[in-house]
Amino acid sequence: MTKNTEQWSKILAKRLASRAGSGVPVYRYFADVFSGLIGDGLIRPGTRLPVDREFAELVGISHITLARGLNELRKKGLIERSRAHGTFIARTMPGGRSEMPLVAVLFDDITPEVICSTIFPALYNELAAQGCRMLFYSAAGDSATQSRQLIEIFQNTGCIGALVWSVMDRTDLAAAMSCKPANWPLIFLNVNWDDFLEADSICYNCGEAIFELARRFLASGGEKIKLCVTGDYLNNTPWQKIKAACDSQFGQGTVSFERAEFLARQWNEKTLVVTNFREGITPERRNCVGIAAQNGRKGITRPTVYFHLPLQAKKAVELLQRRISSPQSAYRHLQMPYSLLNMKTLNLTCGGKK
């Protein structure tokens, strides 16, 4: 239950408890008070109401009385009620304008590159096609900031779901998720904390791509694979899982992490570098594979693990809509397919989807 729901439900319960002597049937009194809370702006359009039995307990009336009161509100056009969707405050008030539902989009950081040429415009367009507005947040790369932002969104009654490009470490993510209302639609775009995360995710399948690159390179006579990646890889669970899988298959130390400075060095033909950095990666660098996530393949001329951003955005918004319309207890963790492009200049034969 969100903080806002707790606030207005307490007001409603207090007013219902003081109805003695009003002479108005309880269900109608409930409907009148509830209508007033909507009119006063204490309950916003699009708010999802608690399930009936929980709602009845919150406000201190019987389940049957609540059902009759909600039916009165439905007749007035103040709520939308169905088996599949649950019960919501109508987004179009009688005689008023339609308010497009709000979806929060949380990014790690915001740069001109993000706004103009990556997943941001793809998400914006997909949400707009579904009739949703975007509420954008940037954490400036800070884990604790993004955790606070997510908690704030959970308490925003006008927000029907969120799409998150996470920079949260395990502690900050756990703190945010402890505030998440049950069945609240939440999709992660870059992590799959499948051991405790009660949310959906659509992630890049970097693990499979890197594993395939390493297997092919080592089979062709290579000896070392260097992962030169952005962010705090030492505290990043997905990257550490990739490293552990490679250690188990290829031997400890065969695959290792390097910081950005490594890209300025020279390395021999026995070393393969895989990186998501763009600066300093020139076409003449040998045995260097980039990880690219962008709108199209145009302009990709060097060996690259490629992920198609519009496809990820489309799948994320589709999954969000599915979660909104039909809450489930089982969460979905989908891996984005990848393509290996321009691999002919490398001394290996690469798999993956062509």
Segment 183-210 shows an average pLDDT of 82
CA–CA distance, 320 with 185 (Å, rounded to integer): 6
Residue type (1 letter), 52? D
CA distances from 199 to 20, 75, 156, 187, 194 (A): 44, 34, 18, 6, 9
Q: Give me the chain's average pLDDT, please.
A: 84
Which of 34-43, 119-128, 266-275, 283-292 has the highest mean predicted lDDT (pLDDT)? 266-275
CA–CA distance, 108 with 275 (Å, rounded to integer): 19
* Run of H or E including 164: strand 159-164
Instruction: Reply yes or no on whether the pLDDT at 249 is more than 90.
Output: yes
How do beta strands 288-294 and 271-275 pair?
Answer: parallel
CA–CA distance, 242 with 304 (Å, rounded to integer): 18
Which pLDDT score, from 0 to 100, does residue 128 have? Answer: 85
User: CB neighbours (10 Å) of residue 75?
Assistant: 10
How do beta strands 133-138 and 102-107 pair?
Answer: parallel
How do residues 163-187 score in pLDDT, each as one tens digit?
Answer: 998 888 888 998 999 999 888 899 9
Instruction: Reply yes or no on whether the pLDDT at 332 is more than 90.
Output: no
Confidence class for position 211, pLDDT limits 50, 70, 90: very high
Confidence class for position 352, pLDDT limits 50, 70, 90: very low
Confidence class for position 292, pLDDT limits 50, 70, 90: confident
Which pLDDT score, from 0 to 100, does residue 114 have? Answer: 60
The residues near 341 (Cβ < 8 Å, ≥ 6 apart) are: 297, 300, 303, 304, 306
User: CB neighbours (10 Å) of residue 329?
Assistant: 7
- More confident site: 308 or 278: 308
How do residues 120-179 score in pLDDT, each as one tens digit?
Answer: 888 888 888 887 888 999 988 889 999 999 999 998 877 889 999 888 888 899 899 999
CATH number for the 206-308+338-345 domain, one of 3.30.530, 1.20.120, 3.40.50, 3.30.1360?
3.40.50
289 forms bridges with which residues in the sheet? 274
136 forms bridges with which residues in the sheet? 105
How do residues 49-81 score in pLDDT, each as one tens digit?
Answer: 888 999 999 999 999 999 999 999 988 888 887
Enter the CATH code of domain 102-204+310-336: 3.40.50.2300
Measured between its terminal Cα atoms, the distance across the chain in Å is: 46
**Phi then psi dihedrals of residue 142, to 5 deg:** -105, 125
Establish whether domains 102-204+310-336 and 206-308+338-345 are of one fold: yes
Burial class for 185, CB neighbours closer than 10 Å (0-12, 13-18, 19+): buried
Least Cα distance to 305 among 320, 294, 313 occurs for: 294
Instruction: Reply yes or no on whether the pLDDT at 223 is more than 50.
Output: yes
CA–CA distance, 211 with 131 (Å, rounded to integer): 40
Confidence class for position 280, pLDDT limits 50, 70, 90: low
In angstroms and rounded to an integer, the radius of gyration of the C-alpha atoms of the chain is: 25
Which pLDDT score, from 0 to 100, does residue 354 have? Answer: 42
The residues near 12 (Cβ < 8 Å, ≥ 6 apart) are: 30, 33, 34, 37, 58, 59
pTM of the model: 0.63
CA–CA distance, 237 with 172 (Å, rounded to integer): 13
Q: Sketch the domain layout of the chain as residue ranges.
A: 3-89, 102-204+310-336, 206-308+338-345
Residue located via tokens 């409930």:
30
Confidence class for position 322, pLDDT limits 50, 70, 90: confident
Residue type (1 letter), 119? I
CA–CA distance, 324 with 159 (Å, rounded to integer): 11
The residues near 55 (Cβ < 8 Å, ≥ 6 apart) are: 9, 49, 66
What is the CATH architecture of 3-89?
Orthogonal Bundle (1.10)
225 forms bridges with which residues in the sheet? 255, 272
Instruction: Reply yes or no on whether the pLDDT at 335 is more than 70.
Output: yes
Segment 258-284 shows an average pLDDT of 85
CA–CA distance, 86 with 80 (Å, rounded to integer): 8
Instruction: Reply yes or no on whether the pLDDT at 96 is more than 60.
Output: no
Helix axes 52-59, 63-75, angle to 10 degrees: 100
Which pLDDT score, from 0 to 100, does residue 159 have? Answer: 87
138 forms bridges with which residues in the sheet? 107
* Run of H or E including 115: helix 112-117
User: CB neighbours (10 Å) of residue 300?
Assistant: 15
Instruction: Reply yes or no on whether the pLDDT at 104 is more than 60.
Output: yes
